Amino acid sequence: MKDFDLTLYLVTERSLSLGRPLDDVVEEAVKGGVTMVQLREKTCSSKEFYDQALRLKKCLKPYNVPLIINDRLDIALACDAEGLHIGQNDIPYHIARKILGKNKIIGLSVENIQDAIEANKLDIDYIGISPVFGTLTKTDTAQALGLSGVSDITQISKHPSVGIGGINKSNTQDIIRAGADGISVVSAIMSADNPRLAASELFEIIIKSKK
């Protein structure tokens, strides 16, 4: 049984960390309640990505929080991360599974009902419903799904799910009540003055919304 909890899923973005070291922001967020961390790096070299992944994995280990690598199968393999997250235009799922093995966590972004139907044919570990709302942190996304889109996808999906895209304290409750198992955030934590407090407040909203 793979050990992971989708409740509060942090996706990193160094450019939003207000100049603070990524490791520091992430560790504070984990202390506040973050349950999974995805390392996303679009602009650095492979060596920098690998080195950062190793640092983050070491940082997260004492908290038993899984490190998920965004897109880069080679980095996930090289640093022995707990998992990989892929999008619709990344390496095909069956290749990723074959190379990483059955014990690693693999998440897949779904952007519409058809993606979710196709995902049901795969033994992925979770889906990322993306984007729920419009967001400035990721510009290459599909049209926003809205709460009705989250509800439609979670009703037909056999996989646990996180909503991602434009999520903050004001709309977290709505996303959980629309059927998502957790939320995935970037700027709501990465750009917060106090990442631990921001994570704690989001975590509390999620737990209350599930009651």
According to the annotation, is 58 in a ligand binding site? no
How far apart, in whole angstroms, are the C-alpha atoms of residue 154 and residue 162?
10
Tell which residue, 102, 123, 27, 38, has the closest CA to residue 75: 38
Q: Binding site annotation covers 90?
A: yes
Task: Report whether 109 belongs to an annotated binding site.
Answer: yes
Is 71 known as a binding-site position? yes
Radius of gyration over alpha carbons of the chain, in Å?
16
Tell whether residue 136 is among the known ligand binding residues. yes
Flag whether 39 is marked binding. yes
135 is in an annotated binding site: yes
| Cα–chain center distance at 38 | 5
Alpha helices in the chain (DSSP H): 22-32, 46-60, 73-78, 93-100, 113-119, 146-156, 172-177, 187-190, 195-209
Say if residue 139 carries a ligand binding annotation. no
Max CA distance (Å), the chain:
44
Is residue 152 part of an annotated ligand binding site?
no
Is 2 annotated to bind a ligand? Reply is: no
**Residue 108 among known ligand-binding residues:** no
| Cis-peptide into 131, omega within 30 deg | yes
Q: Is 70 annotated as a binding residue?
A: yes
186 annotated to bind ligand: yes
Q: Are 188 and 202 in contact (CB under 8 A)?
A: yes
Q: Is 15 annotated as a binding residue?
A: no
102 in the Ramachandran plot: left (φ > 0), alpha (ψ -120 to 50) or beta?
A: alpha
From the annotation, which residues make up the binding site for Mg(2+)?
71, 90
From the annotation, which residues make up the binding site?
38-42, 70-71, 90, 109, 135-138, 166, 186-187
